[in-house]
Amino acid sequence: MNDQSSIVGRPLDRVDGPLKTCGVARYAAEFFPSNLAYAVIVQSTVPAGKVRLDVSAARAMPGVVFILTHDNAPELPQKGRGAVNPPAGRTLSLMQDDDVHYNGEPIAVVVADTFEIASEAASRIRVDYATAPASLSFEQAKSSAYKPEKLTRDQPDKSWGDVDAGLGAAAVRVDHVYTTSMEHHNPMEPHATVAHWEGDRLTVYDATQYVSGVRETLSKTLGVPVEKIRVVDPFVGGGFGCKGSAWSHVALAALVARAAQRPVKLVMARWQMFGPVGGRPRTEQRVLLAAQRDGKLTALRHDVISHTSVMEDYAEASTAPTRALYACESGAVTQRLVKLNVGVPTFQRAPGESTGTFAVESAMDELAYELGMDPVALRLRNYAEAEPSTGKPFTSKRLRECYALAARKFGWARRNPKPGSMRDGRQLIGWGMATATYPAHRQPASASARLLRDGTVLVQSGTHDLGTGTYTIMTQIAADALGMPFERVRFELGDTMMPKAPVSGGSTTASSVGPAVQEACRALREKIVNAAIADGGSPLYRAAATDVDLRDGTLVARNGRRETLGALASRQSAPIEAKGDAKPDEAQKTASRSFGALFVEVRVDPATGVLRVPRVVAAYTVGRLMNAKTARSQLQGGIVWGLSQALFEKSLLDERYGRFVNGNLAEYHVPVNADIQAIDVDFVDENDTAFNPLGARGIGEIGITGVAGAVANAVFHATGKRIRDLPITLDKLIA
C-alpha cells in the first residue's frame, strides 16, 4: 500500500503524545489572560414563551462584575441570527429579545471575579415566564412534517429510474420502519471559550473544530472586521461535530468580555451539553426493498423524517447511504422535518450515514432472510461499480476485498443461518454483518513551510487536531515531501494567524489539508535547492537544480558534494519559505467514498436479555493510510461509538417540560471498558490518487457506520427478534 521508504503510512507515535501525558498541552479553558473574570450562563427552564428577569439580588453580590440579559444586551447585526451558514455558524441565542425557544436556552450571563461567585449569583436571578404552547412530541408533530430546502450536500428528495415498474418486477419485498433516538455529544473536553479584548481587537481561545469559522461568525455577529479577530485552539479534547459550529456561548463570551472590559472565561458544564450545542436528531425511516428471486434489487425507497428546532432547520441526511451503496436501477429517497421546541440539532459523528446505514443494512438483512440468501452474497449480487443515484463512477472502490477479508477472519463460513441455532451453554450466539460507508470530501486549504536557522522546517496550517493525530500525519506528509527526517519537521495548527484551512469535520482534514502541506513542502524544497545553487558559499554553487536532491535533511549533488540545511540556512539574509494551496476539482465527474465490511458476534442471555458483543471484525478501504497506528485507533474508536449507538445512547426528552431527564454522564449511558472486547480492524490496500494527490480519504467517521445495523442483525440471528428501534435495550429482548 505504501512505499517502504516513505514516512507516510508508518505507525509512528503521536508527536503530541508526550505533551498530553505530561499535562503540557493547553486546551481552550487553560489560557489565563491577566485579570481574568469568569462567566456562567443562566438557562431557561421552560420550552416556549417570554422571559422576565430580576437580577437585583445577583448584582448586589460582592465580586459580580456584569450581568447580561435581553434588557441590556447590545443590538447586533441581523439580531445575532444566521450570521454564517452551517457549519460555521448557527442561529444563536444572544438575548436580542425576550423569546424562549427551548428548555435550556441561554437567557442571561453572569460575570464575576471567580467561578464560584458567578455560579452563586446565577442561582439568585429571579426568572418569571409567560409560557406559550410548545411542540415536544415527535409523534404528534409528524402530521406537520415538511420538506427542507436542502441537505448539507444534496437535495432532500431524489429519484432515478422507474420505481413503480421496479416494484412490479419484484418477487419479494420488505417494507419496514426503523427508528433512532436523539443523542448528544459528550467529548471529554466540554465547550469552553476565553475572550480577550485589547482595544478593538479580539482574541478568542475556543474549543472548536473550525477556528476560521468561529472568526467569521464572530465578525458577522458582532460587526467587527474579521482582520481584528484572532481565534486560537492548539488542542481539542474531542469534537465529533458539536464543535464544528460557533454556538451561542462563544459570542456571549465576547459580548460580556467587552462589556466587563476584562478577559472572560466561559466553560459549559456537562449538563449544558444537552441542548445549547446541538446533538443528533431523532429519525423515523421507512425502507422498502424489492428484489427478484436471485436477490437482484429492482426498486428501493427510503423515506426519512427527523426533528429540527423551531429556530433553524437541520436535516439528518439519513438517505445518503441509500443513494450510494447498492446497484439498483430504480430508487427514490425523501427527507422531511418536524419542528420541536428543542435546541438546534447538528452534525454528530457520521451524520446521516450512521443512522441511515442502520436502517438500510437492517433492511438488507431482512431481505436476505426473505430470499433464503446469505447476507454477504446479497450485497455482492447488488455490488455497485458506480454511484446508483448519479451514475458517476467511483474514484476507487475495493469493497469486495473488504467483504472477503473480514468474512475470512471472522469465520463467517461456519455460520448456521437459522435464528437461535447457535448456542454456548444457555447463551444465544448471533452473527451479523453490515456494510460501512462514508463519502470522501475535500475543501480548499492552504499551508506554509519555512526553513529555520537551525536547519529544521516549520510547517503551519490553521487546521485542528481533535485527538485524531493531525499533528502527526501532517508532520509525516511534510517530511516525505521535503526529504527530511521526521524529527526535523515541526507542524503547527489551530490559529487563524496561520494559512486558512477548512472545518475539521466531514472527514476532510487529511484529504484537504494534507495536499496543501504536500504542495507547500514541495515548493519549499525547490526553493531550498535554488538557494543553494545560487549561493556562492555553498558547495553546490552553480550545480544544475536537476542534479541536486534533498535526502535526510542534507542537500546532495550528483557529483557527491553536499551541504546540511543548517549550514545553508545560516547564510541566508531572510528565511526561505513557501506556501501551498490545494482545492478540489469543482467539475468532478466521479464519486468518492470509503467503504468497509463489519462482522459482529453477540451473546444474549434469553432469561435476562443481557447482551454482550465479544468481538467485532472489520476491514476498510479508505485510500492511502497516512499513519497505520492512528488510522486503526480512529476506526476502533468509531466502532466503539457504533456499539454505543446500538446498545446505549438515548437522550430522554420529558415531553411535558422539554428538559432532557438524563442530561449527565451518570444517566446518559455510554460504553465503559468492560463493555468493549475484541475489535479487529484491518485494511485493504488502496491509493486513491484520482481523489487527491495524496491518495488519502478521511477516516474519522466511517468507523461508526454500519455498526448498529450489524449488531441488530446479529441480535436477530441470535434470538429471532428483529429490533428496529435503537438503542437495543434488554427490555426489547425479553418483551
Q: Which residues contact 735 (CB under 8 A, 6 or more apart)?
A: none
* Distance separating alpha carbons of residues 233 and 468, to the nearest angstrom: 15
CB atoms near residue 416 (< 10 Å): 11
DSSP at 550: E
Please, what's the b/e burial string for 224-257 (b: 16 or more CB within 10 A of its CB; e: otherwise)? Answer: beeebbbbbbbbbbbbbbbbbbbbbbbbbbbbbb
Place of cell 476532510: 508
Backbone angles phi, psi at 424, to 5 degrees: -135, 100
Cα–Cα distance between 356 and 140 in angstroms, integer? 23
**Beta strand residue intervals within 22-79, DSSP E:** 37-43, 49-54, 64-68
Catalytic hit among 105, 183, 649, 701: 701
Q: Beta-carbon neighbour count of residue 575 at 10 Å?
A: 11
Are the CB atoms for 184 and 279 separated by under 8 Å?
yes
**Alpha carbon of 594 to those of 406, 509, 597: distances in Å?**
16, 15, 11
- How large is the C-alpha radius of gyration of the chain? 27
Within a 10 A sphere around the Cβ of 573, how many other Cβ atoms? Answer: 4
How many whole angstroms separate alpha carbon 323 and alpha carbon 364?
14
Contacts of 90 (CB under 8 A, 6+ apart): 245, 246, 247, 248, 278, 312, 344, 346
Contact 254, 192 (CB under 8 A): no
Please give the Cα distance from 277 to 90 (Å, whole number).
Answer: 10
701 is catalytic: yes
Partners of residue 160 on adjacent β-strands: 331
Query: What are the distances in angstroms from CA 159 to CA 290, 296, 325, 330, 352?
Result: 15, 19, 15, 8, 18
Residues linked to residue 205 through DSSP beta bridges, in sequence order:
194, 232
Give ∠ CA 285-287-288 in degrees, rounded to 5: 155
For residues 458 and 577, is the Cβ–Cβ distance under 8 A?
no
Residues with a known catalytic role? 701
